[in-house]
Every structure is written in structure tokens, then in C-alpha cells.
Amino acid sequence: MFSIIRPYIFSLDPEVAHDLAIKSLKANILPKSFFSVDGEEKLETNLLGKKISNPIGLAAGFDKSAEVYNSLFKFGFGFIEVGTVTPKQQLGNPKPRIFRLEKDQALINRLGFNNHGSEVVSKRISNNQPNGFLGINIGPNKETKKKEDDYYICLSKLATYAGYITINISSPNTIGLRDFHDQEEMKKLLFGINKIIKEKKIDCPIAIKISPDINDNEISKIVELVRSHEIKGIIVSNTTDSNRHNLSDIKRHEAGGLSGQPLKDISTNLIKKFYKETKGKIKIIGVGGVDSGESAFEKITAGADAVQLYTGMVYKGPGIVKEIKKDLISILKKEHLKNISEAVGINAWPQCLQELYNTRKKLCLKDAN
């Protein structure tokens, strides 16, 4: 179905096409059964203290103002993240600000946190109970000088309505945002987050979304701060504002964050490094280039407890979720794994443990025959 209408959709400006999708989804007429998958119980897992039907999530950036999340749940997502939400309504950067790189199966965006603001979003979710595990991604307004204060405002306003809150410190489209990757700046931010949690008695897990453009020596420092401030999850990763040298599309030099296939291996390698550093004790959500069961499984075996996609859905349509789930169930059967959680981190193990896993597979194959 999507392959038939895709040429028309791709003839439109990307942001016009996105806005049209949001308007269509507001009708909420799709039957959930259309996207159901047999054997999905093998994909059940736990994420940030919540049991979810599968580890495939929608990344922040599609439903920026929490307008259509219940329609999106019907596509079969195990969880959805809305936002980024800022304290006040924000129009974002000048248009055009989204670009399709079709030759590279990628997007570049410089949207700039356009959203309806925390007051509108909180009322919207309060009046429309989520039909699944809903995360809210938060960030600062562009004009705010003391940006950490905006995180505190959003956390206080939105935590009541969220399954989890994501602290977005990694968008390349807000000046100064990535400064929070600095050890001292992150320490101050997370200390303030913890203070708000205690003062407001917030019972909502917190995740932090990091940049793919960090150095290896920053990983241990980030993990140390995440662990010491009781942050429950790390989202790896946001878009990259570099890594353009291997791209083919003429739009590759547009400013903004690059997502999709060019980010796939970068984020997967980073997931593996974070998994090793955390020893699997902090939940990791993998993002970047997920568009198939194979690419989702790569991130899971690298150490991701769950994955998110966005660009993949732009290119392959809403049926992508169903196809990924079907592929994952087939992969689990092939790998002789009973549940998707058994696959988490198996390719991040030391060589000796990897050999032990391979031996187990061979024994399972022998028993099956």
C-alpha cells in the first residue's frame, strides 16, 4: 500500500508531507488488528520498569506536540516518545528545515524544537489517556539563557503524564545544548533533576539522550554521572551533525542533524561501548538506521534493550513496525532464543563468552535435528 502512495508523498515538501500525516492520524480510524503479528509474545520485554509488548519504539520528533500518539500505537509500537517539548510554545527554525536524502536513505533536519509547549501538551495527554508506554522528550526554549531551568520546568509540568521522561541534551539544532555533555555541566544538570524529583516526589524514570558525535573517553564519564544520579536509561543516539563524507545526495551539505542509514553503524558501535561500560545494568535504547528486523537485532545484540525508529518509517511507511516484528520473531527462532531479552548484548560480550554462546547455538541445532 505505502509503495503505491510513496511517489505522491515524496513529491511533497517533507514538512508538508509530515503535517499531512499528522492530520490524517488525528482521525484515528485504523484498526489495530491490521498491524498485529502472530507470536509477538516472544518480543515482550521490560523497559524502564514497564512491561511492553515489543522493543520497537517511535523516536521523538514525529509527534512533537503529543497530538496522535494513540493512533501511532495502532501501528504496533511497543512504546512511543513524543516531543521534544519545551516550556513555552516554539515555532522552530526558518523553513525549509527538513530534507530527504533519498540516495542515502537519510534525512537532515534543523527543525529547532518546534512544538506547542508544555502547558498544551500536559493538558492534551491528561485528556487523552495513552494506550501504551508513552515517553516525553524535553528540552529548552531557544531564547532561554539558563537552559537547565527549562528542563526543570518541563520535568515538573510533564512527569505526571509520562511513562518516562527523556532529557534531550543532544540535538545539534539548539545552540549550546550539547554543552551539557561536558562533565561539569552534566553534573549540575543531573543534580538539579534529582532535586526536582525529590522536591516534587516524582515517580517517573528518567533517560538521557546523547550525541553520536562524542569521543570514546567521554563514555565512562557519562556513565559515571548517569549511575551516580540514578538515571535509568541512556538513549543512543541523536542525529549527527558530521559524518557527511560518504553521502551521495546533493542535499548532503544542508545544515542540521543527519538520521537514517548513515547513522546505523555509528550508533550501533556506540551502543556496544555503552553496554560494556554499564555492564548491562542501565537500560539502553538504540536509535539510528533501524529499518528492518536485522538492523533492530544488530542494535539489540550490541546491548540495546529496545530500539527506536523514525527515518525508516518515512521511507518504508507505517507497515515497517509489523515487518520488523515478524523478522525479529524469525531471527529468534533461527538463533534458538525464546525471548528477545535473551539477545541483549550477546555481541558485546568478551570473546570467550561469545564462543560459549556460539557453542550453545550448535548444541541447540544438534538437539533440534
Q: Which residue in the list 122, 171, 259, 267 is annotated as catalytic? A: 171
CA-to-CA distance for 64 and 173, rounded, in angstroms? 15
Scored b (16 or more CB within 10 A) or e, 299-328 reads: bbbbbbbbbbbbbbbbbbbbbbbbbbbebb
Provide Rg for the chain, Cα atoms: 20
CA-to-CA distance for 333 and 39, rounded, in angstroms? 11
Residue 86 to residues 1, 153, 168, 180, 258, Cα–Cα distance (Å):
36, 9, 10, 17, 22
Given a contact cutoff of 8 angstroms between Cβ atoms, the answer to whether 322 and 56 are in contact is: no
pLDDT at residue 358, as a whole number? 62
Q: Mean pLDDT in the chain? A: 94
Q: Is 11 a residue of the active site?
A: no
330-365, pLDDT tens digit by residue?
999 999 999 999 999 999 976 555 555 566 655 655
pLDDT at residue 167, as a whole number? 98
Q: Is 137 exposed, middle or buried (0-12, 13-18, 19+ CB in 10 A)?
A: buried
- Residue 366, number of CB atoms within 10 A of its CB: 8
177-226, pLDDT tens digit by residue?
999 999 999 999 999 999 999 999 999 999 999 999 999 999 999 999 99
Number of domains the chain contains: 1
8: domain CATH number is 3.20.20.70
pLDDT at residue 243, as a whole number? 84
Distance, first Cα to last Cα, the chain: 40
Q: Is 336 exposed, middle or buried (0-12, 13-18, 19+ CB in 10 A)?
A: middle
CA-to-CA distance for 232 and 227, rounded, in angstroms? 8
Parallel, antiparallel, or unpaired: how do β-strands 306-309 and 79-85 relate?
unpaired
CA-to-CA distance for 119 and 130, rounded, in angstroms? 17
Low-confidence ranges of the chain (pLDDT < 70): 350-369
Full domain range(s) for residue 196: 2-368
pTM: 0.95
Q: 224: helix, coil or strand?
A: helix
pLDDT at residue 354, as a whole number? 58
